[in-house]
Amino acid sequence: MKESRQLTLLLPIILLILGSCTPDEPPPPDVSNIDVPLTVLRFDQALPNVDTAQLTTELQRLDTEFGTFTDAFFTHLVPVRRGDFSPAEGQNVLRAYLAYPLTHVVDSLVQQHFGAGPQVQAMAEELRQSLRYYRHYLPEAPLPDTLVTYSTHFELAGFLYGDGQLAAGLDFFLGPDFDYQQVNPEEPIFSDYLAQSYTPAHFTGKMLRILIEDHFPAPRSGRLIDYLVYEGKKLYLLELLLPETPDHVVYEVTTDGMEWLRQNETEIYAYLQREDELYATDVDKIKKYTGPAPYSQGMPRESPGGAVNYLGRQIVASFLAANPEVSISELMTLTDGQEILRRARYKPR
């Protein structure tokens, strides 16, 4: 994930040894001995092929093959099993969904991009490797052992179901060649600043975010410093879990946006102090600072949304450097952003 050292061609052996590690950063730990079973189930291929004339039997078959995922899918994404529907009404909903033109378009796009499996298997293997790092750094945290892939009408990129299993909506990973604006240019979720991360390269990061946010939920209230440190902890952890992934992919920004963050750390911190925002408690204001956006509130349009989260990451890195006895597991349970900032002895660069 980090930039390679610039070495001359006279040192090929050293280049191979050093790989992508920077001088001040150790290589990632060897996690090859950590067993992470992960079964991949392709609901996106099974649902389009059901026999709509035999839906009672077909739904039972899907339940057997996909377990509790089908209840989650047919309750929250395609409301076949909504509480006020009879079984017959639910089956009519499913027939209508399968016959709807957009369903055919999405299913065709998903099969065109992901087909019989090599791309999905590659994404699953990358996720599996990251889950090994996840187990290494967070030995007590639960891990999924099943990944179900599905597609809908661009409803949800992923979620946890059952006893903590992962589900991924492949319709959110069609890029970078697929233009999401063509689906609906008026739909906010297809805005460029969001759609830039709807690619296979972002798959593992998005799945990891779901796990992290479930096990370490965001503050329910507090100050901006608490929220930006929370986001910073996630980013720092994601870097550890994705050591071979470029920073801009981990942060879900453009390469230019990533460079802007690196070049403007001091300016971000100075702005928050000058505007007396670090201890702001207004929920809407905090969301504007930390959430996805075309650019960051109060900052130049070249800035990526959520620029303060990078500041949180830098504070967390300083905190760990100043407090080496604190493990990643312990770090993730700390919630007082002001105390972390104080103990970090942070100085922006």
Cβ–Cβ under 8 Å, residues 47 and 113: no
> And the tokens for 302?
């070249």
Query: How far is it, in rounded angstroms, from Cα 201 to Cα 238?
Result: 14
Would you state the pLDDT for residue 328?
98
**What is the per-residue burial (b if ≥16 Cβ within 10 Å, else e) of 42-77?**
bbbbbbbebeeeebeebbeebeeebbebbebbbeeb
Contact in structure between 261 and 251 (CB atoms under 8 Å): yes
Instruction: Note the pLDDT of residue 303.
Output: 98
Q: What is the pLDDT of residue 116?
A: 81
pLDDT for residue 176: 87
What pLDDT score was predicted for residue 5? 35
Contact 316, 233 (CB under 8 A): yes
Q: Which pLDDT score is estimated for 84?
A: 87
Written as six digits, the tokens of 103 are 């369903």
The predicted structure's pLDDT at residue 24: 56
The low-confidence residues of the chain, meaning pLDDT below 50, are 1-23
Task: In whole angstroms, give the CA distance from residue 281 to residue 64.
Answer: 48
Please report, to the nearest 10 degrees, the dihedral formed by the alpha carbons of residues 142, 145, 151, 157 taken in order: 20
CA distances from 208 to 31, 186, 221 (A): 17, 29, 23
pLDDT tens-digit series, residues 142-153:
999 999 999 999
Q: How far is CA 254 from the centre of its chain?
A: 15
